[in-house]
Structure 1
């Protein structure tokens, strides 16, 4: 019996270690390659450092390429991702709260439509969105990327599920008895209870917008409006003729940093929400 348990634990541990190595190895290669110059990038061991660390120089050279276009791409990505995630979180929380706490004709039909939107792959919406925005002359503008980013069917679904389970009807009734309006109850009471779900929606939407390539590449022709994902792929397709590969790799590393920082900032809200839920 003990032998079987030991074998089972060893197998699980082996699988976890392999999964960790599989996930972290590309990140390690990215970090190591960002410290090399163009000469030692392919001539040395790809998974270990090669002499002098050049990451500071690479970052400085990267920010000077094409009059600082990479910095503009980063700002564009931050604007699309942060702004779109904030608006999407607000709209999703309002829609999910209404679907969870108010009874009206067609409520289940609306929710089923949201579920259907979750099941449809996002790339399938790209061409219809392009045709619609082209007809309304929105293509190649900021709004062509921002407007689709504020729609999150998964956020609506998660908000409804969480609001139905975590926001008691008695709490809402007590607010109405005290004379609070429906919007004030939602703003002052429900949003506080729904905080862990809001953080989850924001982070999921932030990552989705930040890593999105198809929609901005289809909508935007002006390189001053493009996010960092589209810009880096455009540099890569030039095969190092305009921008050296070591600078492209350094840009890829910098493009990951905001996602890591956002996760580290928001994880304490998850922990606080889980702790308060266990106490309740």
Structure 2
């Protein structure tokens, strides 16, 4: 009886790598460190004024100019400043806040709806003059809104709508950039085959738009809505020209009026306006932050739309 020696089982190794060697750590890509530093610099550039605004809103008029701007001053006066902002001049700040909310919600909401419907029509329908109309929209995107303020005032003065909310609401409904953005987004977000299937099933164009297309266009609609909301909320030059009644001022014009009163005179009463201006500016950006945090989930739901080929 002979014994046969069996060779020990060899460990399988990948070609080109010696047995028992560890996988090398992935190399860090060149240029990542400068990009990270640049990102942090941009973040600091963006957040530094906001941090200064937050710190300054906790100070009174004395410590606002005597203490370090990026830290707390002598005492914590934030809640007192908020109370003074809301009660100064019979609560005119609340009036300005309500006006800004009206202009932004109605104007930005209407602009988003019009841009969505118009962009969908330019993307999915064929009609005479379509290319010329789209070229006109692109031309309107390049025109700055400040260049249209004076012609808008002259036009509205002929229509007797100056010094009324319509003088701010009507221009806010026009968003050429939103129309262009929705046209580009609707080209890929709404498949033509889906529209054809809906027409074969007997669905009308309006029903198809509201029940099928609008759901697919939700991320683009929210994007246009936020752009229009920020633009209308921060609108200053047009309301400054077309409005003269302080009861119809938005926050931008109203806070600038307080700043003019505080810087134009050196009395004790006007000096107390500086903490109110700072605190009022801080309160004015809170709705924009809340709107972004609430609507960002619609962005996240549409980020991967079209990424998987069906």
Q: What SS does the corresponding residue of 1:76 show, helix, strand or coil? A: helix
The correspondence for 1:182, drawn from 205, 215, 234, is: 205
The correspondence for 2:70, drawn from 23, 44, 47, is: 47
The correspondence for 1:205, drawn from 225, 228, 234, is: 228
Q: What SS does the corresponding residue of 1:224 show, helix, strand or coil? A: helix
- How far the C-alpha of 1:17 sits from its partner, in A, is 1.6
- 1:258 aligned partner: 287
- How far the C-alpha of 1:165 sits from its partner, in A, is 1.2
- 1:114 aligned partner: 137
TM-score under structure 2 normalisation? 0.86
- 2:187 aligned partner: 164
Q: Does 1:35 align with 2:61?
A: no
TM-score under structure 1 normalisation? 0.95
- 1:193 aligned partner: 216
The correspondence for 1:135, drawn from 138, 150, 158, is: 158
Judge conservation of contact 2:188–2:306 (CA < 8 Å) in 1.
no
The one-character-per-residue Cα deviations of 1:184-242 (angstroms, maximum 9, x if unpaired) are 11111110000100000000000000001000000000111010000001111112554
Matches of 1:214 and 1:112, distance apart in 2: 27
Matches of 1:150 and 1:193, distance apart in 2: 23
Matches of 2:82 and 2:166, distance apart in 1: 30
Judge conservation of contact 2:240–2:253 (CA < 8 Å) in 1.
yes
Any gaps of 5 or more consecutive residues in structure 2? 1-24
- How far the C-alpha of 1:53 sits from its partner, in A, is 1.6
Q: Which entry has the higher C-alpha Rg, 1 or 2? A: 2
Q: What SS does the corresponding residue of 1:139 show, helix, strand or coil? A: coil
Matches of 2:59 and 2:297, distance apart in 1: 35
The correspondence for 1:19, drawn from 23, 42, 45, is: 42
Higher helix share: 1
The correspondence for 1:217, drawn from 221, 235, 240, is: 240
- How far the C-alpha of 1:5 sits from its partner, in A, is 5.9
Matches of 1:100 and 1:6, distance apart in 2: 41
Matches of 1:165 and 1:255, distance apart in 2: 37
Matches of 1:279 and 1:269, distance apart in 2: 18
- 2:21 aligned partner: none
Quote the RMSD (CA, aligned, Å).
1.6
